[in-house]
Structure 1
Amino acid sequence: MTRRPSRPVRVLCSALAAGALLTTAACSDGDGEDVSQAGAVARQTPTASPTATLTEAGAQTALITAADIEDDWTQVKGSEVANWHDTLIIGTVDADDFLTGKTDAADCQRLMDGLYTDQLLGKPSGASALRGFQQDESRLLYQVAAYERTDPEESLAWLKTLPQECDQFTMTNAGQQSTVQVIETSLPDVGDDRAGLRITVQGQAHGEPTTLTEDVAAVRVGTDAITVTAGGLEGDEHDSVEQAVKLGTQRLQDVLAGKSPASTPSEIE
């Protein structure tokens, strides 16, 4: 494992504001002066729409728990999660594999670098929180974060192009080559937008042929988003990713609406 760069654990709270339409009947004081100006101003001033801001406390609350995902996942201490990541995802993408050369290679390099840094949607601009789970040799990483207004929209659109642009390519690290394949995966119809990928890396570890499979999902809720990365050397974890996406999106929506997320998972259809 290669130690992952540390990152701030930031988070979220919700603030809701709503205006009320005020009506005041016109009246006069003893001198006949109109004193209904306050009511007129109230009628002319537009009311504020409900808003919610992702804060540290809210982001922590929006994180899923081990009970929200299938099988025998157990939550890992934050200090241990900081050391996660397989050296198989580190390397330089070979531009010779692509018809458009450097352009497509740059997108594929951004994908692999994003996997390593846990910033597939870019660096969060606001609150964020991270939680890790482990099951045998597989790991699941779950993040909730706030972004600039257009960041999650553009990043999700970019992720959707990768199964075509980065279909298969070669990556080199310390003289060792690995083959990477990227395919699209389906996700539950939740949030405002979503994208799912499966990344398979075939290379060498300790002198033996090794295959790493990572399922990746991202879901946008307004300007906030959740990302899930799960997998390992034992195969895909797509079912767990789907469940994390479905329950995790609902938790984030509840937090943004000022509600307390359910303490137990809702039934999965």
Structure 2
Amino acid sequence: MTAVLAAGTLLVTTAGCGGGEDGASSAGSASSVAASPVAERTTTASPGKDTLTPAGARTALITEGDLEDDWTQVSAKDAASWEDELVVGTVDTQQFLTGKTQAADCQRLLDGLYGDDLLGRPSGASALTGFTEGVSRLLYQVGAYDRDDLDESLDWLGSLTTECDQFTAKGPGGTLTVQVVEISSLPKVGDAREGVTVTVKGTSGGEPVTLTLDVAAVRVGDDAITVTNGGYDGVDHDSTKAAMSHGTTRLKDVREGRTPAPEPSEFD
């Protein structure tokens, strides 16, 4: 599942849980999203032992009430079709001191941004939803993973601000310049978390464009949520943090057999 960018319209993807339980596609849209990596990690114990079911994954998805501002929820079918061709590119290996290893990490970032599977494919149930606000898009995914694979993916995500802090790639429209920085002050939720802001500068329709995306992931036991949020007009970090915070609460409720509240009692 991916997010699509068409002339003048942005579709953002929430990276990480591609192949969600619900699908989606956005009508004739245009740009999308990509971003990922670094923030904080914790090592607390898993909160639950229940296996995430397809119904549970759908119930754990956030709603408009979990986000600040004027986000509008779209169908899962629309959200699943979001793609952004701006992030399609082949990394220039010559720019890295350690060569193949760093280049592979950065290529994995670009590929994951386009395919919305930065954490890899879920091993169990998964679901997704999407939201729009102006030309910005927020993709939210929930999925069950193999724990070892999930921890490896989070470690990789957390390394990107060092391994791929700035690099170039060759895209269909010319050279892409990519910068990855840490998202500061992520909410201390879940058992582990990572978050980065990715900025991609390139050309779309013959015009220079800049795509800015937050990509954040939170582990809760063997399950995880992934948020991809942003667009060509920048990114609202507060919406990313709200999705992480309230989404983690919903996922914990589902894992523990409770029904999540319709809306959070208060925003962070």
- Greater Cα radius of gyration, structure 1 or 2: 1
2:146 to 145, 148, 156: 148
Residue 26 of structure 2 is matched in structure 1 by none
Structure 1 residue 174, shift from structure 2 partner:
2.5
Q: Residue 72 of structure 1 aligns to a residue in which SS?
A: coil
Segments of 5+ residues of structure 2 without an aligned counterpart are 7-12, 23-47
Tell me if structure 2 keeps the 8 A contact 1:150–1:223.
no
Aligned CA-pair RMSD = 1.7
Matched, 1:207 2:219: no
Q: TM-score, normalised by structure 2?
A: 0.82
Structure 1 residue 93, shift from structure 2 partner:
0.8
2: CA distance between counterparts of 1:161 and 1:9? Answer: 29
Task: Indicate how the Cα distance of structure 1 residues 253 and 8 shifts in structure 2: closer, same or farther if over 3 A, else same.
Answer: closer
Identity score, percent: 59
Matched, 1:92 2:90: yes
- Amino acid in the other structure paired with 1:250: T
1: CA distance between counterparts of 2:70 and 2:97? Answer: 43
Residue 71 of structure 1 is matched in structure 2 by 69
2: CA distance between counterparts of 1:183 and 1:51? Answer: 34
2: CA distance between counterparts of 1:206 and 1:265? Answer: 41
Structure 1 residue 9, shift from structure 2 partner:
1.2
2: CA distance between counterparts of 1:207 and 1:58? Answer: 44
Tell me if structure 1 keeps the 8 A contact 2:180–2:199.
yes
Q: Residue 188 of structure 2 aligns to a residue in which SS?
A: coil
Q: Encode CA deviations 1:74-93: one digit per residue, 9 max, x unaligned.
A: 01122222331221111111
- Amino acid in the other structure paired with 2:207: E
Q: TM-score, normalised by structure 1?
A: 0.81
2: CA distance between counterparts of 1:92 and 1:215? Answer: 21
1: CA distance between counterparts of 2:68 and 2:5? Answer: 27
Residue 226 of structure 2 is matched in structure 1 by 227
Q: Encode CA deviations 1:64-108: one digit per residue, 9 max, x unaligned.
A: 001111111101122222331221111111111211111101001
- Amino acid in the other structure paired with 1:184: E
Q: Encode CA deviations 1:5-58: one digit per residue, 9 max, x unaligned.
A: x83517xxxxxxxxxxxxxxxxxxxxxxxxxxxxxxxxxxxxxxx730100010
Segments of 5+ residues of structure 1 without an aligned counterpart are 11-49
Matched, 1:188 2:200: no
1:7 to 19, 23, 28: 19
Residue 134 of structure 1 is matched in structure 2 by 132
- Amino acid in the other structure paired with 1:7: G
Residue 160 of structure 1 is matched in structure 2 by 158
2: CA distance between counterparts of 1:201 and 1:174? Answer: 14
2: CA distance between counterparts of 1:205 and 1:266? Answer: 42
Structure 1 residue 249, shift from structure 2 partner:
0.2
Work out which structure has the larger RCO, using CA pairs closer than 8 Å and 6 or more positions apart in sequence: 2
Q: Residue 265 of structure 1 aligns to a residue in which SS?
A: coil
Structure 1 residue 175, shift from structure 2 partner:
5.6
- Amino acid in the other structure paired with 2:198: I
Q: Residue 150 of structure 1 aligns to a residue in which SS?
A: helix
Tell me if structure 2 keeps the 8 A contact 1:190–1:246.
yes
